Amino acid sequence: MQHDIDEIRQGLLSAIANSSSPREILKSAALKDMYSVIGTLEPSERAAYGKAVNEVKLALEAAVVAREAELADAAVEPIDITAPWDANSTMPDLMPSETASQHPLTKELEEVVNIFTRMGFEAIESRQIDDDFHMFGALNFPENHPARDGYDTFRTEEGFIPPAHTSTMQHRILKDGLSKLEAGGKIAAISYGRVFRNEDVDATHEHTFYQCEGVFVSRDATLGQMLGTLRSFFEVYYGQKLSIKTQPGYFPFVEPGLEFAIEKPASIGGKPGEWLEMLGCGMIHPNVLKEAGIDPTVYRGFAWGGGVERLVMLKYGIEDLRHFESGKLQFLRKFA
């Protein structure tokens, strides 16, 4: 009996290896007949025979997957790496730029930056690789503090960090702005760019996304100024008046820390009493100011930070965060 199973197995595997539609072979009569035999066997023989048949099916399924991948690779037109294109060759015809469009995140990030710069904030692009000091140490994260683990941070073998938040620029902004404070001015800047976290990717989580962070320092900065700034931003971005609310939140680099929410805009189907948490914010922690050489007994500041994708998803009713990084033309053409 085992000899028969082996013979059928080899025959089906051979058929899969040479088929242009290998999945159809899983429906073959030979495989069905093997299962039908189980009911005719003595009870003592059924377990061993059934196990052998299941092993055959698993082997066939694996072979089908491998054959389908082989067929898919064969269908891809290979790139001719010997094609001439040097200083003495004629440049090939390329797709004209007029047929392209901005990625929705690029377009909306420019709008975010534009709103804040009109408010008087300097815009600074964040880094895509940094060190532990700027990522954590300068932001009041003690050594071995559990919040360091909470960011699911990537690290290179050399110890560098693809930033998990645009707050990695905050220390630099504060240090560079110290001379402005000493001259009687203020620090007002945003940092923006890609950030990276070791996340399980799903409809609401991505390992790569965008953030925008704001920093403001003066002799008399207040929470009221911060809330007014944020409210104005969201009202301009969504094009309507909005109610806001806050609740306490913990972030090592601010004290007090707040979670900032807006009433869901009517333009995206919101109703009174529906709230959306948009970002974290608060008054800059005295330790963060001290680290940058700013005297916290003389100056005060506030900061905030949040994701750009969330803004865009709400604005356009996008249901899945993964669309932004998918490269799917069907999605991108909606924003062309």
| pLDDT above 70 (res 135) | yes
Per-residue pLDDT, 84: 60
Class of domain 104-335: alpha beta
Number of neighbouring beta carbons within 10 Å of residue 300:
20
Per-residue pLDDT, 260: 95
Single pTM value for the model:
0.68
Considering only 36-45, 174-183, 279-288, which range has the smallest mean pLDDT? 36-45
* Mean pLDDT for the chain overall: 86
Measured CA to CA, the distance from residue 185 to residue 259 in angstroms comes to 28
Per domain, the residue ranges of the chain are 2-75, 104-335
Considering only 29-33, 57-61, 240-244, which range has the smallest mean pLDDT? 29-33
Cis peptide before 248 (omega within 30 of 0): no
| pLDDT above 80 (res 77) | no
Section 232-244 average pLDDT: 91
Convert the chain into a string of H (helix), E (strand) and C (coil): CHHHHHHHHHHHHHHHHCCCCHHHHHHCHHHHHHHHHHHHCCHHHHHHHHHHHHHHHHHHHHHHHHHHHHHHHHHCCCCCCCCCCCCCCCCCCCCCHHHCCCCHHHHHHHHHHHHHHHCCCEEEECCCCECHHHHCHHHCCCCCCHHHHHCCCCCCCCCCECCCCHHHHHHHHHHHHHHHHHCCCCEEEEEEEEEECCCCCECCECCEEEEEEEEEEECCCCHHHHHHHHHHHHHHHHCCCCCEEEEECCCCCEEEEEEEEEECCHHHCCCCCCEEEEEEEEEECHHHHHHCCCCCCCCEEEEEEEEHHHHHHHHHCCCCCCHHHHCCHHHHHHHC
Convert 317-333 into a string of H (helix), E (strand) and C (coil): CCCCCCHHHHCCHHHHH
Per-residue pLDDT, 147: 61
pLDDT band, very low/low/confident/very high, at 80 (cuts 50, 70, 90): low
Per-residue pLDDT, 29: 74
Q: Looking up tokens 């088929």, which residue turns up?
A: 19
Q: Decide: 124 and 187 in contact? Cβ < 8 Å.
A: no
